[in-house]
A and B are shown apart, each in its own frame.
Chain A
Amino acid sequence: QSALTQPASVSGSPGQSITISCTGTSSDVGSYNYVSWYQQHPGKVPKLMIYDVSQRPSGVSIRFSGSKSGNTASLTISGLQAEDEADYYCNSFSTSSTRYVFGPGTKVTV
């Protein structure tokens, strides 16, 4: 059972914006700006999309943005495209015995 919670699925039409939530506690998301997001297409390697809550690595589309409020972090995908259809995982540093915790993943359908 993941320490972070994410919706199992989110869907949207091409061109729309969607937001994926990642809810933790004051032991992880709420107290540290060490939240990252990963995109994984079926059978492929995970790809870093956002780190430190809202930082975008070089090469990642500006359509992807991250934010945080309290114990909940969010990933927003704007101008949804067919290629965005994938699983998305959040991760946070945690002061629990599990130092880095992942969410269960959210399947995005376009």
Chain B
Amino acid sequence: EVQLVESGGDLVQPGGSLTLSCAASGFTFNTHWMSWVRQAPGEGLEWVATIKQDGSQKFYMDSVKGRFTISRDNAQNTLFLQMDSLRAEDTAVYYCGRGAGWWDVWGQGTMATVSS
């Protein structure tokens, strides 16, 4: 079964850091672009970041550039999102998705809450 499972969401204070993980299974992970998409409570979907199969290309939304880092470990079939200098507006469910531009497999999401 093709599956993505996120973890790492937590409550963190403004200015803090958090690392999200996404474990992939059921497909050849290293042949797919991978992305993070987030959804703030009661709001719509928002693309966050995308990484190429070999990690050689990475793209970010403007508001997270310089604060978030997307990476992957193809040996462990895992996608990561390192989030630093977190702000209240980063509070959201973070989904990992398979693909770039369209996402055909989604994880169940992990909640990151930034609050004092």
Interface residues in chain A, defined as those with a beta carbon under 8 Å from any beta carbon in chain B? 2, 34, 36, 38, 40, 45-48, 51-52, 57, 87, 89, 91, 93, 97-105
Contacts and interface: CB of A to CB of B under 8 A. Distances in A.
Contacts of B37: 46
B44 A45 contact: no
Contacts of B59: 99
B1 interface: no
Closest 4 CB pairs between A and B?
A36-B102, A51-B102, A100-B47, A105-B44
Contact of B102 (A52, A87, A97): A52
Contacts of A89: 44-45
Nearest to A35: B102
Contact of A45 (B35, B62, B95, B100): B95
A99 B101 CA distance: 8
A52 B103 CA distance: 11
Interface residues of B, number: 20
B49 to A, nearest CB: 9
A58 to B, nearest CB: 9
B104 A57 contact: yes
Given A38-B45, A98-B47, A48 B62 contact: no
A48 B102 contact: yes
B108 interface: yes
Contact of B101 (A45, A47, A93): A93
Pick the most buried of A47, A97, A98: most chain B CB atoms within 10 A of its CB.
A98
A102 B95 CA distance: 14
Interface in B51-69: 59, 61-62
B50 A103 contact: no
Contacts of A100: 35, 47, 50, 100-101
Given A36-B102, A93-B101, A104-B44, 4 more contacts: A45-B95, A46-B95, A91-B45, A103-B44
B47 A2 contact: no
